[in-house]
Amino acid sequence: MIQNQTFTTIGKSTVLKGNFNFVGTTHLLGNLSGEVTLEGRSKLVLEIGSMTDAVLNCFDLEIYGEFTGEIKASGNVTLYPTAVVNGKIIAKSLEILPGAVVNINGHTEE
Alpha helices in 6-69 (DSSP H): none
pLDDT (tens, 9 = 90+) of the chain, 110 residues, equals 466 667 788 899 999 999 999 988 999 999 999 999 999 899 999 999 999 999 999 999 999 999 999 999 999 999 999 999 999 999 999 999 999 999 998 777 76
Who contacts 68 (Cβ-Cβ below 8 Å, separation ≥6)? 52, 53, 85, 86, 87
pLDDT of residue 81: 98
Element (H, E) at 95: strand 84-96
Length of the chain: 110
pTM of the predicted protein model: 0.92
Distances (CA, A) of 100 to 16, 19, 26, 62: 25, 27, 21, 12
CA 35 – CA 69 distance, rounded (Å): 10
